[in-house]
Amino acid sequence: MMDRISQRLSRQRIAHFYDGWLQRSYVHGKLASDPVYAATAEAIDGTALPLLDIGCGIGLLGLYLHTRGTLPRYLGLDHDERKIDAGMIAVRRAGLERVMELRTADAAAMPPVQGHVALLDMLHYLPQEAQQSLLEASVQHLAPAGVLVIRSVLLDSSWRFHATRAEEVWLRLSRRIRGGAQHYPKAAELRRPLEAAGLSVTIEPLFGSTPFNSYLIVARRRN
Ligand SMILES: C[S@@+](CC[C@H](N)C(=O)[O-])C[C@H]1O[C@@H](n2cnc3c(N)ncnc32)[C@H](O)[C@@H]1O
């Protein structure tokens, strides 16, 4: 466990790999307020396997895990070229080209890597069928000791869900996310195919300091 001072220094260090004041402030704020990266590190629990990060954005998860010393290899895919370019600048500044690779690609183009798989805050940007296909493909890319870590908004009747949907309208209108939200899954839609594939699944709230309806879903092979 890192103490508060080391956590702060590590946030500053990661932020400085990115370009420009705006992006650095975003990275620093995101790492300080969003527990998803620490939760992913905890879920994979030091198991040193390659990590496939689908919908990786600017590759923050990779830089975070590398700082925690739990990353032999990271491959991130995102269909937004601007984010991949921004992420690759950070990867080069950090001198991590041998460990981290970011590719502009659709989620459906998963490379033949076996290890851990992360799908953080990205499933709802796919239509329902594509979500199910991506879950199936993710299971196939898990190494025997690999962990599938998902964070997703879940459809329910909570005020948090409505707050999330309102934010997604803004994200689509501001063109921050190409295409915008397509389908909000219910918990059972994610749990069912993973359990059918023989994985044990836990689903827990992971709101952090946000008003959003975010859940952490961790799936691994039963022993
Ligand atoms: C909210 S961001 C999350 C970024 C990153 N996973 C994180 O948590 O730091 C969602 C990302 O999913 C990407 N995305 C959405 N649909 C995608 C698709 N079909 N293929 C690849 N990337 C996709 C978006 O471009 C965006 O960068």
71 CA to centre of ligand 1 in angstroms: 20
Instruction: Find the range with the poorest average confidence among 14-18, 45-49, 136-140, 199-203.
Output: 45-49
pLDDT of amino acid 171: 86
Examine residue 183 and state whether it is found in any structural domain, yes or no: yes
- Which atom of ligand 1 is found nearest the CA of 30? 9
Of all protein residues, the one whose alpha carbon is nearest to atom 11 of ligand 1 is: 55
Distances (CA, A) of 119 to 7, 24, 34, 137, 170: 24, 23, 15, 12, 22
Residue 209 is classified by DSSP as T
CATH code of residue 198: 3.40.50.150
Q: Is the pLDDT of residue 1 over 70?
A: no
Whether 11 is covered by a domain: the verdict is: no
**Where are the extended beta strands (E) located within the chain?**
51-54, 74-78, 100-104, 116-120, 147-153, 199-205, 214-221
Residue 22 domain-assigned? no
169 occurs within a structural domain:
yes
- Report the distance separating Cα 107 and Cα 170, nearest Å: 23
What residues have CB less than 8 Å from 201, skipping those under 6 apart?
190, 191, 194, 195, 217, 218, 219
**What is the C-alpha separation between 212 and 163, in angstroms, rounded?**
6
Q: Predicted confidence band at 86 (pLDDT cuts at 50, 70, 90)? A: very high
pLDDT at 50 over 70: yes
Assess if residue 12 is contained within a domain: no
Give residue 9's pLDDT band: very low, low, confident or very high (50, 70, 90).
Answer: confident
Structural domains counted in the chain: 1
Please identify, by atom number, the ligand 1 atom nearest to the C-alpha of residue 120.
Answer: 6
Angle between helices 36-44 and 60-67 (to 10 degrees): 60
Task: Report if residue 19 sits inside a domain.
Answer: no
Name which residue sits closest to atom 8 of ligand 1, judged by CA. Answer: 120
DSSP label at residue 142: B
Q: Which pLDDT value is given to residue 2?
A: 64
* Position 122 pLDDT exceeds 80: yes
In single-letter form, the type of residue at position 188 comes to A
| Domain presence at residue 4 | no
List pocket residues of ligand 1, CB cut-off 6 Å.
55-57, 60-61, 77-80, 83, 106-107, 120-122, 125-126, 177-178
Q: Is a pLDDT exceeding 80 seen at residue 177?
A: no
Q: For residue 220, give the nearest of 145, 152, 135 by alpha carbon.
A: 145
Mean pLDDT value across residues 180-185: 94
Mean pLDDT of 111-123: 96
Q: Which atom of ligand 1 is nearest to the CA of 178?
A: 25
Give the whole-angstrom CA distance, residue 77 versus residue 111: 9
CB atoms within 10 A of CB 175: 9
Domain with 120, as residue range(s), is: 34-221
The answer on pLDDT for 116 being more than 70 is yes
Separation of 78 CA from ligand 1 center, angstroms?
A: 6
Residue 137 domain-assigned (yes or no): yes
Atom number of ligand 1 nearest to Cα 118: 6
pLDDT level of residue 185 (50, 70, 90 thresholds): very high
